[in-house]
Chain A
Amino acid sequence: NAGVMQNPRHLVRRRGQEARLRCSPMKGHSHVYWYRQLPEEGLKFMVYLQKENIIDESGMPKERFSAEFPKEGPSILRIQQVVRGDSAAYFCASSTSGRTVYEQYFGPGTRLTVT
């Protein structure tokens, strides 16, 4: 059973470009969470999605960031017009239910570098 997959693993973007990060949850998991780890900081919750629904986006920056989890295909975290402060590791996790974080299985992360 494959784990949570994220791609790309490394992404370099110039300021002003768009970044698209993809997350394929574990088989049978319908709940996806995105986290961001800025340099020198801990992981921070961004958004919680179920298929075709955003359940909680309280951790998402108000502008330039969006997330989706379509009926078919991976979850996408989209960052428009990236700035240097967006450079971070972005992790997604998936679970079978929207419960405690230890039931979430994390992917290996995407390291975004904005030049």
Chain B
Amino acid sequence: DQQVKQNSPSLSVQEGRISILNCDYTNSMFDYFLWYKKYPAEGPTFLISISSIKDKNEDGRFTVFLNKSAKHLSLHIVPSQPGDSAVYFCAASVDSGTYKYIFGTGTRLKVLA
């Protein structure tokens, strides 16, 4: 039972344009969400997070939007750069203080120069 779903396994975007990565979840008890980025041959690295009390969190070129009623979050990267090419995982938890998160299957982003 996949509680966190990333339905697009891959996405290609032109350099300079916006990348939008989507994530859906089924558990209404989730209240903390993260995005991780993973380059080939490396471990995942934390990118950005959002609490359920917010609907938007921004960090430089990265913005995460949360729509609780739709149980949907998205990561926007503007402008996209070739170095952003990686696999992006979303993750969710019922508690921000936990070390246990439910990860999605990932979306491979390719930014074309």
Which residues of A line the B interface, CB within 8 A? 3-4, 9, 33, 40-45, 48, 56, 59, 91, 93, 95, 98-102, 104-109
Contacts and interface: CB of A to CB of B under 8 A. Distances in A.
Contacts of A104: 99
Nearest to A42: B103
B96 A42 contact: no
Contacts of B65: none
B45 interface: yes
A48 B93 CA distance: 16
Chain B: interface secondary structure? loop
B89 A108 contact: no
13 contacts: A42-B4, A42-B89, A42-B91, A42-B106, A56-B100, A91-B44, A93-B43, A95-B99, A99-B97, A100-B97, A100-B98, A100-B99, A105-B45
Interface in B63-113: 89, 91, 93, 96-106
Contacts of B34: 101-102
Contact of A109 (B2, B43, B101, B106): B43
A44 B102 CA distance: 7
A42 B43 contact: no
From A3, A98, A106, residue with most partner B Cβ within 10 Å: A106
Rank and list the top 4 A-B pairs by shortest CB-CB distance, nearest first. Answer: A106-B43, A42-B103, A102-B46, A43-B103
Contacts of B98: 100-101
A33 B99 contact: yes
Given A43-B89, A99-B97, A108 B102 contact: no
B89 A100 contact: no
Given A3-B43, A106-B45, 9 more contacts: A41-B2, A45-B99, A91-B44, A100-B97, A100-B99, A101-B100, A102-B46, A105-B43, A108-B42
